Amino acid sequence: MRVIVPIKQIRDPRGVKADPRRQQVTLEEAELVINPTDRNALEEALVLKDKLGAKVTVISIGGPEVEDSIREAWACGADEGILLSDELLAKADFRGAALALAKAIQKLGDFDLIIAGAMAADTCQGQLGPRLAAALDIPCVNDVYRILEVSGGKARVIRGWDEKFLEVEVELPAVLCIAPGANVPRLPHGARIMNSYQWEMPVWKASDLGLSEEDLRPGVEERGLSFPPERVRGRVSRGSPEDLARELVSFLRERHLI
Amino acid sequence: MEYFEIMMGEALEETAYRDILVVAWLEKGEPVPATLEALGKARELADSLGAYVKAVTFAAGEEEARKLTGYGADYVYILQGPALSQYDLEIYAKALGEFIQEHKPEIVLFPAIAPARELAPYLAQKLGAGLIANCTEISLDEATRTVIGAHPMYGGEYFRLLANPGLKPQIVTLLPGYFRPAYYDAYRTGEVQTISVEPVPSRVKTKGPVDFTVPKGLDKAKVVVSVGRGVKGQEEMELVKKLAQALNAELAGSRGAVDEGLIGPDRQVGMSGHQIEPKLYVACGISGAIQHYYGIRNARCIVAINPDPTAPIFKVADLGLVGEVKDIIPAVLKELGTR
């Protein structure tokens, strides 16, 4: 049984602080980490390795710095890791990234499951898992909280939608997108951290995947950033309960807190 | 107009995509609130672009789907077929994809609700299209007919503006609660058409609800509603619990609240309890001694409700409301319910 886990390296969300006054955000100071929900996905894959002897392959797209994240996943227990890296891949948008991962997965051969994080904490888009399923023409179940059973060419899982939990059975191969916080991911083994730098990581370019510049041409354009209102402490309001309630609710809405 | 387009030669292909399509969800015979927000935005975009609003929905009755015209859709299409009575990603995507390829909408809006969070990116990939997901704001570059969507980065620390000018259709999902819903006008009319969809085999079976809860910890909670000594008795505690529920929040308390028996010691926040970093911390009847503040110093936003205007919590709160918990919370619950 082969399980593939696509991971994304992002800036540690806890270290990212926007400065609304200067209308800017500095990302470079935050540490580079594996997207937290991708760690939940890796954990689910490693549980399948423990229980069923699944072979776990981690794939990521990015520059040479992403190697560290793949080695960290290996130190957690993954069996192999592949980095997709070149200039064309660096410019790819959501569509191109899904296409590249799909081609790489096809190149690896047969697989049973792709277990992905449901959302990256940086962009909050949640596009990759479903897009990958579409590119490979396989079914997808998102917002998965638990994998109950994998057997007989099927997986039984629990999907959570709006606080309602449903048992879902899906034919394999399939993509499962794991919900944030679905489990407590394990930490890397001390000895494996040292050893993780001893194996050579395959690095595939767009051309290795049979993809041209045209295939990966990005369609999405960034048109700037915007910032929530600046934090001012010590604002105190008095009035009728109704007025205060109205003020509170609009305050929360302005800051996208509800 | 048509003649002009033909004169433009190549432009014909480009402008073949027109109108705004809303993928509408109905529940118990009514459009869900997030659908109304998408219809409201669609109407606005359509009026700026001189286009029609079309709504497409799955396996709905004709009468209930007709309500969408009252909410601003000029055309309503019901995709109908035995395989569509229950949501299935691949079946819905195939039916919707074929519909989109035939109708060529310029812009497609989805409410970013549970099935669409999966369906929209899946469909975008199948169509070779771009997608801006979870938008909190949408604007239009009228000159190039380009939709610009703002979406949260790092959980809303800031927002990024994206556009998909080259790829058609331009697909966007709208986070519920950020857009003005369409209003109902019984006199508005439109065409309703049913399209039958051939059955295709399903590879995903929903077997039914299961008893399952996610273990949520205080340490990871995004929103925390917290009580202190100022919350008097079980009756007021019930109000706070209702507020927590309305805000999808975890409950916590100060040392004082633990002493009063309002909350268990495992939920205590402060120097001798949990140190938390939620996006929103609502302190109800907490004076905010330094020991307590230590536990919430990394909260991104602090709101305080307290009758004593000199309470230290007001110095650190982003918004302080002077008043009794028993008066303010019911008004807040009412305000949250009437949106």
CATH number (domain holding residue A168)? 3.40.50.620
Rounded to whole angstroms, the Cα distance separating A90 from B111 reads 30
Task: Kindly identify which residue of chain A lies nearest to residue B326, measuring between CA atoms.
Answer: A241
**What per-residue confidence (pLDDT) applies to B216?**
66
Asked if the Cβ–Cβ distance from A168 to B207 is below 8 Å, we say yes
Asked if the Cβ–Cβ distance from B207 to A166 is below 8 Å, we say yes
Rounded to an integer, the average pLDDT of A70-83 is 96
Cβ density class B276-296: b for 16+ within 10 Å, e for less: bbbbbbbbbbbbbbeebbebb
Residue A184 belongs to a domain: yes
Residue A230 belongs to a domain: no
Rounded to whole angstroms, the Cα distance separating B61 from B281 reads 44
**What per-residue confidence (pLDDT) applies to B15?**
55
pLDDT at A152 over 70: yes
Nearest CA to CA, how far is B186 from chain A (Å)? 30
Bridge partners (DSSP) listed for residue B55: B22, B76
| Cβ–Cβ under 8 Å, residues A101 and A6 | yes
Q: Dump pLDDT digits (tens) for B172-220.
A: 999 988 899 999 999 999 999 999 998 888 999 999 999 987 766 787 7
Mutation target among A123, A211, A214 for the B interface, most CBs of B within 10 A: A123
Phi, then psi, of A129 in degrees rounded to 5: -55, -55
The reported pTM is 0.85
pLDDT at B10 over 80: no
Question: Binning pLDDT at 50, 70 and 90, where does residue A118 land?
Answer: very high
Mutation target among A119, A226, A232 for the B interface, most CBs of B within 10 A: A226
pLDDT at B41 over 70: yes
**What per-residue confidence (pLDDT) applies to B337?**
82
**What per-residue confidence (pLDDT) applies to B12?**
44
Question: Binning pLDDT at 50, 70 and 90, where does residue B275 land?
Answer: confident
Taking contacts as CB-CB distances below 8 angstroms, the residues of chain B near A223 are 148, 161-163
Q: Establish whether this prediction's ipTM goes over 0.90.
A: yes
What range defines the domain where residue A44 resides?
A: 2-209
Residue A9 belongs to a domain: yes
Domains of chain B and any CATH numbers = 8-196 (3.40.50.620), 218-337 (3.40.50.1220)
Rounded to whole angstroms, the Cα distance separating A92 from A70 reads 20
Q: Dump pLDDT digits (tens) for A171-181.
A: 999 999 999 88
Which of B118, B122, B318 is closest, CB to CB, to A231? B318
**What per-residue confidence (pLDDT) applies to B294?**
86
Determine which helix (DSSP H) or strand (DSSP E) holds B79, and give its type and residue range.
strand B75-80
* Any B CB within 8 A of A248 CB: yes
Question: Binning pLDDT at 50, 70 and 90, where does residue B3 land?
Answer: very low
pLDDT at A160 over 50: yes
pLDDT at B9 over 50: no
Q: Dump pLDDT digits (tens) for A53-66.
A: 999 999 999 999 99
Task: Kindly identify which residue of chain B lies nearest to residue A10, measuring between CA atoms.
Answer: B154
Mutation target among B127, B135, B210, B284 for the A interface, most CBs of A within 10 A: B210
Rounded to an integer, the average pLDDT of B263-272 is 88
Rounded to an integer, the average pLDDT of B78-101 is 95
Residue A115 belongs to a domain: yes
**What per-residue confidence (pLDDT) applies to B218?**
83
Asked if the Cβ–Cβ distance from A95 to B123 is below 8 Å, we say no
Cα B112 to chain centroid, rounded: 6
Taking contacts as CB-CB distances below 8 angstroms, the residues of chain A near B157 are 13, 16-18, 25
**What per-residue confidence (pLDDT) applies to B2?**
47
Residue A227 belongs to a domain: no
* Any B CB within 8 A of A237 CB: yes
**What per-residue confidence (pLDDT) applies to A162?**
77
Asked if the Cβ–Cβ distance from B134 to A241 is below 8 Å, we say no
Asked if the Cβ–Cβ distance from A165 to B209 is below 8 Å, we say yes
Q: Above pLDDT 90, what percent of chain B?
A: 77
| Cβ–Cβ under 8 Å, residues B269 and B224 | yes
Question: Binning pLDDT at 50, 70 and 90, where does residue B338 land?
Answer: low
* Any B CB within 8 A of A233 CB: yes
pLDDT at B1 over 50: no
Phi, then psi, of A56 in degrees rounded to 5: -105, 120
Which of B161, B319, B335 is closest, CB to CB, to A222? B161
Question: Binning pLDDT at 50, 70 and 90, where does residue B273 land?
Answer: confident
Q: Above pLDDT 70, what percent of chain B?
A: 94
| Cβ–Cβ under 8 Å, residues B134 and A124 | yes
Asked if the Cβ–Cβ distance from A123 to B151 is below 8 Å, we say yes
The count of CB pairs under 8 A between chains A and B is 257
Q: Dump pLDDT digits (tens) for B42-51.
A: 999 999 999 9
Q: Which two tokens stand for residue B41?
A: 């935005």
**What per-residue confidence (pLDDT) applies to B215?**
62
Determine which helix (DSSP H) or strand (DSSP E) holds B315, and give its type and residue range.
helix B313-316
Q: Dump pLDDT digits (tens) for B284-302.
A: 999 998 889 988 988 889 9
User: DSSP labels for B5-38?
Assistant: HHHTTTHHHHHT--SEEEEE-EETTEE-HHHHHH
Q: Which range has the worst mean pLDDT, A55-59, A126-130, A216-220?
A: A216-220
pLDDT at B151 over 90: yes
Taking contacts as CB-CB distances below 8 angstroms, the residues of chain B near A147 are none
Number of structural domains in chain A? 1
Q: Dump pLDDT digits (tens) for A3-42.
A: 999 999 999 988 888 888 889 998 988 999 999 999 999 9
pLDDT at B32 over 60: yes
Residue A241 belongs to a domain: no
Mutation target among B173, B319, B325, B328 for the A interface, most CBs of A within 10 A: B319
Residue A8 belongs to a domain: yes
Asked if the Cβ–Cβ distance from B316 to A123 is below 8 Å, we say no
**What per-residue confidence (pLDDT) applies to B8?**
47
Residue partners of A206: CB distance under 8 A and separation at least 6:
A84, A86, A88, A89, A100, A212, A213, A215, A216
Residue A51 belongs to a domain: yes
pLDDT at B109 over 90: yes
Q: How many residues does chain A have?
A: 258
